[in-house]
Structure 1
């Protein structure tokens, strides 16, 4: 009898050890697609709380909600990390029109850019100078620009398959457009929305005045792509038309907010940390479902899926819901500052901040030696049509953790539709597909599982550092 029991125990042990990485990853995907929580969490975050601009009531409520939900998961630790954040408010809805002659006007859709000042009482009305770049603006000079509204109308480059590359190629006009135009005496700035699609939604986003004195700071707004085309066409016919716009935004004093953090403490290497996260704040026009509610709930579900799949991490796994990515990156900087002060050893950080679309793979910020090791895992993702493993950017919030040792990675979903919603009023819950969202959560969990199980071995990320 004792021999039978002994043999039975050996069989059980062999069966457990026979659980391959492929088996565990399959279990993770199955649990996410049949018993996921990400979509349910996103529904509440988006439809019950709504927009979560830093310093707003929505951001405060989101902190409370996500902390409560993480506590329900039975994690080893859940806490709030204080961080001071900017408080910019939009105020009354913006209003704008094109005036072809006195009393003859055509309304256009605009929205204030985040961080912009308000127009003077009664708004701004002036002739318009259309430019395609900051460089073109500089060639015109004060004699032409002074007293005018500058209209930046460089579209995202449509033939670039990587839409983030197209975004990066024209976002300078949004971020620095008012700062540069203000130097030449412009009275306002209108910027074509960062959007590949032709529609009526203006897209907000951060802008900066740099060290420009207050006397030269001018109001800055985005215009929808349809109305950018309309304005450009009308200017081609008549350079003397006016544009009027009014906005009531203002920058208030910084307020206290929080990063939300939950942790499963590692069973073997508790002082080695793996971070997975997204940013809890959003812009105020929609409810921030793709940017970045999706990344928040996917990151939360990583810890739940590990527990649900019976995986006990060797290393400490943290979910960090960062505050203030959109207009300051205060949350990411604060987390890295505290981690450095405590001497914490972060071996890996993964961020989801590219929407809740179908996952395609990952972008890794690491050296060649580490990347070559990661490429050995690529075949484990092939059954789920995850084929994209490339070196590149990790993510804005985890960027401050970069130190020559920590491996950074970003989830890469299909990007073709992302900028249809990015920073616009149509970034709402109904634009998110449940299955795509859950596939992303599973994909993130699988990568975290592998990094937790294998670490980076004897490879030091300082070796062969070529970045």
Structure 2
């Protein structure tokens, strides 16, 4: 009995000592990041000197070159590229749109959706059918839809506290609206922007066409524009809508994932990934989506190196290419990991903006999630209260098939869809303090993953 008590006491002491060591290490991570962080100035360069970075564009290649050079300058143990062929869609000349009531024309802001075809050089003008769901559209039938422009006007649900849940409830209109409208003979589709605020900035995003269905042009309209069009339709059901867009899809282009790593000292074959996606939509600087995630990932490695921390496991910062309109970078990374028999124990992704940290969503088994529970008191003092089952991230998602546990960084979500995929997603909308807190949060999690494993 005495030996049992002694053993239990020793275990308790060891646990307390380990927690104290972890607490000190995490505090040093935050101190280094908040006092000497580089992520904000890196984001300034990425957004202001390089700017929009849609896959296949000159901006995307400049971002590849710059992030590779940046990680080399930081002295990481290895920096390398992974070649990947990506879609190359271009917007062309700025879109035009208005609705006509008699001889009066009212201009509204639109933006072609990524992957859409162009209108004819003269544009397209037709009557408008407003709907809020696919079942509502189908109930109208071809006799009421043929030859018309379908206007999808279901807003994001403002009662959802988690704005990503509201986004998920509305985004099918953007993704599949053109296909559903074309099945019934529509000549075009206009979709209310996936935005949580009222403004005049149209929010673009990816859409797709089903096989065997006519390809009709589709564009997003700003939320203010959508409200005005809806109101005008109720007052003047016979109005017509005109829009012209000049986009096209070019042959796939060669691009790259950019990878930097710190080599593990004890278990170098076990890999922990932290990353974001380097591409952004062409309308803006891509500060929150996802320049923030990229510079935060690089900062994680910089902080560890600055503190003289020698990781047990190999830690990689990955700048994924083509999340926005294809996810080919994430798929290629996972394919190469499988091909090279790499063991990825965990992956952390930041792709929800550079806002105040709230926690991490975890994709893994109950036993793996339970392994994280003892870490919660260590992270709670830094505002990381929302830690549990959730989503990981689009780019790291393909790693799940390899048994990798996925962690999605969760900042406050309330403002994200004010900026998402729109021209207002600029450097000026990012708080230095919030960005650095996010980087420190990710570094703290990576430290715990490296120290304790899963």
Residue equivalent to 2:408: 410
- SS of the equivalent of 1:313 reads coil
Q: Is the 8 A contact 2:344 2:402 kept in 1?
A: no
- SS of the equivalent of 1:402 reads helix
Report how far residue 310 of structure 1 moved: 2.1
How far apart, CA to CA, are the structure 2 residues paired with 1:452 and 1:382? 19
How far apart, CA to CA, are the structure 1 residues paired with 2:18 and 2:94? 61
2:200 aligned with 1:200 = yes
2:88 aligned with 1:87 = yes
Residue equivalent to 2:379: 381
Match of 2:342 among 337, 344, 357: 344
- SS of the equivalent of 2:401 reads coil
2:141 aligned with 1:141 = yes
- SS of the equivalent of 1:28 reads helix
Residue equivalent to 1:123: 123
- SS of the equivalent of 2:105 reads strand
CA-to-partner distance for each residue in 1:316-339, whole Å, 9 max, x for gaps?
001110000000000000000000
CA-to-partner distance for each residue in 1:361-403, whole Å, 9 max, x for gaps?
0000011111112011011111112111120110000000002
Alignment of 1:5-404 (within 5 A): 20-102=21-103, 104-213=104-213, 216-403=214-401
CA RMSD of aligned residues (A): 1.1
Q: Is the 8 A contact 1:193 1:202 kept in 2?
A: yes
- SS of the equivalent of 2:451 reads helix
Q: Is the 8 A contact 1:235 1:241 kept in 2?
A: yes
Report how far residue 404 of structure 1 moved: 6.3
Report how far residue 135 of structure 1 moved: 1.4
Report how far residue 405 of structure 1 moved: 2.4
Report how far residue 18 of structure 1 moved: 9.8
Report how far residue 210 of structure 1 moved: 2.1
How far apart, CA to CA, are the structure 2 residues paired with 1:90 and 1:423? 14
**How many residues matched?**
438
Q: Is the 8 A contact 1:179 1:212 kept in 2?
A: no
Residue equivalent to 2:417: 419
Residue equivalent to 1:462: none
Residue equivalent to 1:461: none
Q: Is the 8 A contact 1:275 1:348 kept in 2?
A: yes
Is there any run of 5+ residues in structure 2 with no aligned partner, and where?
A: 1-16
How far apart, CA to CA, are the structure 2 residues paired with 1:162 and 1:370? 25
How far apart, CA to CA, are the structure 1 residues paired with 2:244 and 2:198? 24
From the superposition, tell whether residues 78 and 236 of structure 1 become closer, same or farther in structure 2 (CA, over 3 Å). Answer: same
How far apart, CA to CA, are the structure 2 residues paired with 1:446 and 1:259? 24
How far apart, CA to CA, are the structure 2 residues paired with 1:205 and 1:405? 30
How far apart, CA to CA, are the structure 2 residues paired with 1:372 and 1:197? 38
How far apart, CA to CA, are the structure 1 residues paired with 2:321 and 2:233? 41
- SS of the equivalent of 1:318 reads strand
Q: Is the 8 A contact 2:338 2:402 kept in 1?
A: no
Q: Is the 8 A contact 1:24 1:309 kept in 2?
A: no
Question: Which runs of 4 or more aligned residues in structure 1 lie more than 3 Å from their structure 2 counterparts after TM superposition?
Answer: 16-19
CA-to-partner distance for each residue in 1:153-198, whole Å, 9 max, x for gaps?
0000000000000000010000000011111110100000001101
Match of 2:452 among 451, 454, 459: 454
- SS of the equivalent of 2:89 reads strand
Q: Output the TM-score relative to the length of structure 1.
A: 0.93
Report how far residue 271 of structure 1 moved: 0.4
Report how far residue 212 of structure 1 moved: 3.4
Is there any run of 5+ residues in structure 1 with no aligned partner, and where?
A: 1-15, 457-467
How far apart, CA to CA, are the structure 2 residues paired with 1:353 and 1:56? 21
Q: Is the 8 A contact 2:57 2:88 kept in 1?
A: yes
